[in-house]
Amino acid sequence: MNHLTTQTVESIEDRRAFVSFPWRVYQDDPHWVPPLFSERMLFIDPEHHPFFEHAEVDFFLAKRGDDVVGTIAAFTNYRHNEFQEENIGFFGFFEVLDDSEAAKFLLETAENWVRERGHDAIRGPAQYSTNEECGLLVDGFDDPPRILMTYNPPRYVDYIEGQGYQKAMDLHAYAQDTDILAGGSKFPQKLVRVVKKIKEKGDIHIRKVDLKNYDLEVERVKKIYNQSWARNWGFVPMTDAEFVELGKELRPILDPDLTLVAEIDGEPIGVSITLPDLNQPLRLAYPSSKTPEWLTMLKLVWNWKITRQVTWARVLILGVLPEHRMRGVDALFYYETAIAALKKGIKHAEMSWILENNDAISRPIRVMGGEIYKTYRFYEKAL
């Protein structure tokens, strides 16, 4: 077996090799959802993604001879360390063939990079923070990931834990049938009463997002997002540039019926963003670097809009300003979203991800009958 070497991603050819590698890892996996190649190329482009404005990042290819056998990234998120008052580095984009030696080599490469920059520990996987896709799937491998959620082979758990990493935090994904939520016989009567009482009081108004004034809506969401999650483990406030980028990414796939704003006297106090699970039609379209992207998009739209393959939705964001919590706004969001989703043929909802210690969010989900069906994990290793 050839000796392992590492190569820093520098050229456009290196970047293409880095982005295209997962297609080899998952070529026989029926559950993996391939991303759009162009989107991934932009995602790791320092000239494009605003994350690089407050971070130092290196991407690595592991090779045996000329053959790429794995990838990893190591980075310092200065904004995270400042906000969370920590001194850690991160790893992410960890992909490797069925090769334990290569896996160990990749993780050591990231650890050495982080150690050289004086950090106390390394944490991951993340792409790039809790504001993007993050966590290693450790339970629930028999199902494709929902939109903007991660996926990996079970062997990655052994690779990472075998290298001395320990759990830092688990992230839970809850599953729920929308017919139960939308006033069905199994819908908890306590929540029905809560929703009815709030509506009768009339001070909280739920409206759809205004796509005609989208930039203004993004500003409103940013304020709620950064305040609502400020006390959460691992949270990093998004910069203006990051929020603009997120807004651009989400706009083509937002459904106004599933994107709701809660207001009191015209002032936004909460937001709920639920996305149709476009991973379902995307998996059927199966994009790759060798397929013209216009053809992929045509297949995607066909499976989404024409044959209506989307039966899942993901509650991506649900936040209420701290001073307006405990007023049942979350119950209103869930109720109105479920009714709208059911009308669109969406039968299942994933609420994700939710920190394992965030009982304020997970408790009402459990009351509604939601169950944890997937678990993702942040790992950490002291250096």
Q: Indicate the pLDDT class of residue 354, thresholds 50, 70 and 90.
A: very high
Question: So what's the pLDDT on residue 276?
Answer: 95
What do you get for the CA distance between the two ends of the chain, in Å? 30
Q: DSSP readout, 200-216?
A: HH---EEEE--GGGHHH
Fold of the CATH domain 4-173: Aminopeptidase (3.40.630)
Q: Read off the pLDDT of each residue in 12-32 and give the average, rounded to a whole number.
A: 97
Task: Fill in the amino acid letter for 106.
Answer: L
Q: Where are the domains of the chain?
A: 4-173, 175-374
Fold: same for 4-173 and 175-374: yes
Q: What percent of the chain has pLDDT over 90?
A: 75
- Provide the CA 66 distance to its chain's centre, in angstroms: 33
Q: Please say if the pLDDT value at position 122 is more than 60.
A: yes
Average pLDDT score, the chain: 92
Number of other residues whose CB lies within 10 A of the CB of residue 197: 11
Of 107, 63, 71, 102, residue with least CA distance to 89: 107
Is the domain defined by 175-374 classed in CATH 3.40.630.30? yes
Lowest average pLDDT, out of 103-107, 190-194, 287-291, 371-375, goes to: 190-194
Per-residue model confidence (pLDDT) at position 181: 54
Over residues 141-180, the pLDDT tens digits come to 999 999 999 999 999 999 999 999 999 999 999 998 877 6
Nearest Cα to Cα of residue 333 among 308, 361, 371, 309: 361
- H or E stretch covering 294: helix 293-301
* pLDDT number for residue 326: 81
pLDDT at 369: 83
pLDDT digits (tens, 9 = 90+) for 176-188: 887 765 555 555 6
Which of the pair, 89 or 365, is modelled with greater confidence? 89
Neighbours of 160 (CB within 10 A): 23
Alpha helices in 144-268 (DSSP H): 155-162, 178-181, 189-201, 214-228, 240-250
Quote the tokens at residue 31: 């559950």
